[in-house]
Amino acid sequence: MLRKELIERLERISERYRKIEEDLSRPETIKDIKKFKELSREHKELSEIWETYNEYKKAIQDFRETKKMIRSPDPELRSLAEEEAQRLRQKIEDLEGQLRVLLIPKDPNDSKNVILEIRAGTGGEEAALFAGDLMRMYQKYAEEKGWKVSVLSSNRTGLGGIKEAVLLIEGDGAYSRLKYESGVHRVQRIPVTESGGRIHTSTATVAVLPEAGEEEVEINPQEIKVETFRASGAGGQYVNTTETAVRITHLPTGIVVSCQDERSQFQNKQKALKILRAKLKDHYERKKREEIARERKEQVGTGERSEKIRTYNFPQNRVTDHRINLTLYRLPDILDGKLDEIIEALRAKDIEEKLKLVEA
């Protein structure tokens, strides 16, 4: 059975849900577009909890009525009642589990698009090639999910790797799934540049940030420094004789972003500002979490970026996620974007950890 504290929370939510329904039907609310949108959003967020809680209460009432029938002198009726009671007992248990999950505080960023940043780490050219593999992996995963991918910025090497790339991934629930990918990814394999056949270990870092709209993060033009330079190709070879590339420095925080993939300075500046907003949103949210002493380590999915989260071992055809001790021997499939098994396991662990806080 659900604890008294959880029942009280569910009753408060039900009361709030009914109040919102009343407010939404009032003429003055309908006229106030902003208020109507806010209440409609809250109504939608609470509807699943309200419906599940009502189903739970009905199941309990039905169970109580069925238990009365078990005392019937009629053997056939008693047998049917016992079967029904067993079914209802299981239904109540399932609904209790659903309600516990629904009471976990929602991540307000889960529905947002993603700014995904990949950087080559230790390992020189091999690290850059691995970063390129990761970029392709996420592009393939997004493709499978029906999400749209745009390259906001990239810096390629002569052998086809990437020193750094920033992607915009747009799609329903993109952040809710990709947020578990932040951290250090490690590869173990024989590099193409290795003539002696020795296995090398290289790394790449992945940062997953929710996209921030202009209304969320306001950028004061007086607090940024905008510089232009010539866009260059792999190995530093100039491919543009005009200064279309843009570098923006946010002076209060020291955050620097640059973009050179577009042919016009205006387009590169717009993309750079998009990246900067996401980084500033992340910066301010991290600062806020530190102030209230809540570290990312409390949640399995959004660990520190310095944390080694996953190893891709080519000789053993193995991928290991170190946060949940999950090992899969399907490395080519995973690098081809088949990430769901790993992400679902991470989500399940995350929910398990958060449930402990709900029950505390």
Q: What is the pLDDT of residues 313-325, one digit of tens each?
A: 999 999 999 999 9
148, 154, 158, 163 alpha-carbon torsion, rounded to 10°: -110
SS3 call for 170: strand
Domain identity same for 127 and 94:
no
Structure token digits, residue 318: 């193995």
Paired residues of 116 in beta bridges: 167, 208
Asked if residue 11 has pLDDT above 60, the reply is yes
- Looking up tokens 């190995």 gives 235
DSSP assigned state of 300: S
Residue 168: what pLDDT? 92
pLDDT on residue 12: 94
Q: Which domain holds residue 177?
A: 114-352
**What distance lies between CA 294 and its chain's CA centroid?**
18
Answer with the one of 102, 137, 166 that is the final residue of a domain: 102
Instruction: Evaluate if residue 23 carries a pLDDT over 90.
Output: yes
- pLDDT value at position 301? 42
Question: Is 283 within 8 Å of 163 (Cβ atoms)?
Answer: no
Does residue 107 belong to any structural domain of this protein? no
**pLDDT on residue 235:** 46
pLDDT at 153: 85
In a domain, 360, yes or no: no
Residues 136 and 83 in one domain: no
Rounded to an integer, the average pLDDT of 95-105 is 89
CATH number of the domain within which 189 lies: 3.30.70.1660
Residues 65 and 134 in one domain: no
**How many Cα atoms within 13 Å fall on the side-chain side of residue 38?**
7
The number of distinct structural domains making up the chain is 2
Select from 102, 123, 153 the last residue of a domain: 102
Shared domain for 120 and 177, answered yes or no, is: yes
Amino acid at 350: D
Residue 71 lies in a domain: yes
Nearest-10 Cα torsion for 272, 277, 280, 281: -150
Q: Quick one: pLDDT band at residue 360, thresholds 50, 70, 90?
A: low
Residue 108 lies in a domain: no
Q: Tokens 């449930």 appear where?
A: 355
Report pLDDT for 302. 40
Q: What are phi and psi of 80, to 5 degrees?
A: -65, -40
The Cα–Cα gap between 280 and 253 comes to 8
Length in residues, the chain = 360
Is residue 318 located within the same domain as residue 210? yes
Q: Are residues 97 and 123 in the same domain?
A: no
For residues 151 and 164, what is the distance between their CA atoms, to the nearest angstrom? 11
Query: Cβ-count burial of 237 within 10 angstroms (0-12 exposed, 13-18 middle, 19+ buried)?
Result: exposed
For the chain, counts of helices (H) and of strands (E): 9, 11
Distances (CA, A) of 269 to 227, 234, 245: 10, 21, 8
Q: Is the pTM of this model over 0.95?
A: no
Render the burial of 29-58: b for 16+ CB within 10 Å, e for the rest. beeeeeebeebeeebeebeebbebbeebee
Best CA proximity match to 209, nearest among 283, 290, 271: 283
Last residue of a domain, one of 43, 78, 102: 102
Give the model's pLDDT for residue 195: 64
Contact 100, 160 (CB under 8 A): no
Dist CA 85 CA 67 (whole Å): 7
Q: What is the pLDDT of residue 238?
A: 47
Amino acid letter at 36? F
Pairing relation of β-strands 326-328 and 224-229? unpaired
| 125 vs 261, more confident | 125
**CB distance 120 to 164 below 8 Å:** yes
Clarify whether residues 33 and 131 are in a common domain: no
Torsion angle (degrees, nearest 10) of CA 165, 324, 321, 333: -100
